A and B are shown apart, each in its own frame.
Chain A
Amino acid sequence: MQSVSSMNSMDHFWLIIFCAIVAFIPRFFPLLFFTKRQIPEWFNEWMRFVPVSLFTALVVKSVFVDSKYNIMTSGNLGMIISSILVGVIAYRTRSMTLSVVVGLVSVMIFVLVLHI
């Protein structure tokens, strides 16, 4: 990944504005709506499974699927091992910092030193 973007700073500025609007809508309206009305029970129960599904999906995408949407069959062993390590650290310590730092160091060793 190198700096190849064709957009200039003005494009980036507008991108930020649009992204901010798109980010704000789902944060604001449900919060506003449900501070006035009761949340339906089924919604609450369903909701408990949504973040965990999305996070898993994002992890699986970055570890197993490349940017052209093909399954990665090689070159991701270091990431797979690092992911498992991060999972164990996160479960054991419940520390976000430790999980991220251990993940970064582990990937650094696997990708930059061992080349797997």
Chain B
Amino acid sequence: MKKNEPNWLMVLRTVMPLGLSYIPIGLACGVLLHAAGFNHLLTALISVMVFSGGAQFLIASMLTINAPMTTIILMMFFLELRYALLGSSLSRYLKGQPLPFIFAFAFSMNDENYAVNYLKFATDKHWKPTQALLVEHYSLLFWTVSNIVGSLIGSALTINLSVVDFALTALFIYMAIMQTKSRLTILVCALSGVLTIFFLVLMKSTLGLVVSTLIASLTGYFIERQLLARKPESHLLYKIHDPTGQSAMEESDK
């Protein structure tokens, strides 16, 4: 790494892979929001204010099926609830920061820049909260511009939306794979999948997602606790091999 590199450039280099990956997803999201009836200004506003790929895709697809506003907001609440977990895991690196900083940091935090910052905080002792906030703002810029361009493309071309919609599914598959650290996680995923179908069909509402998430995650937690206490050599606790060797770096700091 170059020694005299200015801070803004160094942070930009850190955030670049994320920023570039936001372009296709942001474009897809902008196209969908346009189809849901958002004008370019509203698309820009939601990208800044909500700043969450999953949430914006969800709003777009719920608007196109004419879901009432209260349902959309309730669904949003449950979808965004996971940030409580992400936020609290970053909190130990943000101790002693003033309230306005925490406010600004929380406002622009999302899954992807959380992952970048978490990895940086865990592996780089010199990584500062102000740099982490800059990572968030760079990713926000990439995201918002991509969304606006997507919205402009959507108004100019006719695009098959069920195909664009799959960008969200691919995004969630990627995030699930990245979170799979042990064999037990695969078991939890399978359980979550089965429970999701069961509760969605049973409850006829997106609340089924929340119920299955809670049951699957708590089951994983209790199985892990039991295994660690009684059977630490269990095959379920084996780490998943990472072909690129990235997670080795992530774990080394613990």
Contacts and interface: CB of A to CB of B under 8 A. Distances in A.
A10 B96 CA distance: 40
A12 B42 contact: yes
A35 B94 contact: yes
B99 interface: yes
A41 to B, nearest CB: 10
A107 B218 CA distance: 34
Interface in A30-64: 30-35, 39, 42-64
A74 interface: no
Interface stretch (B4-12, B191-199, B230-238): B191-199
A45 B227 CA distance: 13
Given A12-B42, A86-B173, A52 B189 contact: yes
B134 interface: no
Given A3-B37, A19-B72, A39-B91, A65 B201 contact: yes
A99 B51 CA distance: 21
A114 interface: no
What size tier do the contact residues of chain B reach? 35 or more
A90 interface: yes
A79 B61 contact: no
B210 to A, nearest CB: 8
Given A30-B87, A57-B192, A12 B38 contact: yes
A30 B174 contact: no
Nearest to B93: A35
Contacts, number: 313
Contacts of A103: 166-167, 169-170, 173
A26 to B, nearest CB: 4
A27 B112 CA distance: 14
Interface string A77-97: 001001100110011111111
A51 B160 CA distance: 30
A34 B208 CA distance: 29
A35 B97 contact: yes
A71 B138 CA distance: 40
Contacts of A71: 197, 201
A49 B21 contact: no
Contacts of A91: 177, 243
Contacts of B200: 61, 65, 69
Nearest to B87: A31
Nearest to A43: B88
Contact of A111 (B112, B163, B242): B163
Interface of A: 1-7, 9, 11-20, 22-35, 39, 42-65, 67, 69-71, 79, 82-83, 86-87, 90-97, 99-104, 107-108, 111-112
A-B pairs, 4 with minimum CB distance? A103-B170, A49-B220, A34-B91, A97-B21
Interface of B: 17-18, 20-21, 23-25, 28, 35-39, 42, 45-46, 49-52, 54-55, 59, 61, 63-66, 69, 72-73, 76-77, 80-92, 94-97, 99, 102-103, 105-107, 109, 111-112, 160-181, 185, 188-189, 192-193, 195-197, 200-201, 203-206, 208-209, 212-213, 216-218, 220-221, 224-225, 242-244, 246
11 contacts: A15-B73, A16-B49, A18-B69, A18-B73, A23-B51, A35-B92, A39-B88, A62-B168, A93-B244, A100-B24, A102-B170
